[in-house]
Amino acid sequence: MSAVDDAIARMRAIREELDQGDGAWWFNELYLRMTEAVRDRLASLGFVDAAFMAELDARFAARWFEAFAQAQAGNAPSPAWRPLFDARYQARAPVQFAFAGMNAHINYDLCIAVVDTLGALGRNHPFDDEYADYCRINDVLETVQEQVKREFEDAVLRAVDGATQGAGDAVVHWDIVEARAAAWSNAMVLWDLREREVTKGLFLAVLSRTVGFAGRGLMVPTGAAPALRAASGG
């Protein structure tokens, strides 16, 4: 089984462990659908460095599993993840939970996963091939993001007429391609700081808090507040 298949299996297990009244379910579902779409298109994406992408996928997914395990154990995850987990049982629109999770995972976790992957594989500057492959999946992710976003909104509308009014406004400015571009830039900063532990720690602490601040904006209650409970039967 490949690293991508391993990650998909774990996300499917989380899907079964949770129910739709838990905000973490909605992020996990979005992430699962994106990962499945990338897996299904691997042969056609034409990666120059497939080993880099496989290792990155495994390390990136592991950070979600770690944050989830921390929350399940009753421990506070990093500030980047707290907006999702602090509000996971509160009434919000599903799309808000999904995008709050993506905000934490891409804007905070991804840069760490990139640096860890480059280091594990012994790569050095310039990272031209790695960056080209990194960008190669943007179109797939963007397409799935928009498709799932519409499905989440439609599911709520079927349960509560007009319930998602205002929810789209909370996430309309969040762009996965721009977020991934920023994550790569932050990864390059981290790469240069990798032997300066104190400075690296400060950088990551500030980044986590900043991402968490943005996440709280995504979780602000809207006119869709009753939607999650209605859609899940809670």
Query: What distances in angstroms separate CA 164 from CA 12, 190, 213, 232, one per listed residue?
Result: 26, 38, 23, 14
Query: What distances in angstroms separate CA 62 from CA 32, 49, 58, 120, 130, one per listed residue?
Result: 13, 20, 6, 15, 20
Instruction: Classify 168 as helix, strand or coil.
Output: helix
Give the pLDDT confidence of 50-75 residue by residue, as tens digits. Answer: 889 989 999 999 999 999 999 999 99
What is the mean pLDDT of the segment spanning 83-96? 91
41: amino acid identity, one letter: R
Average pLDDT score, the chain: 85
Residue 105 has what DSSP assignment?
I
| 44, two tokens | 């056609």
What is the mean pLDDT of the segment spanning 209-219? 92
pLDDT at position 143 is 87
Contacts of 4 (CB under 8 A, 6+ apart): 35, 38, 39, 42, 54, 57, 58
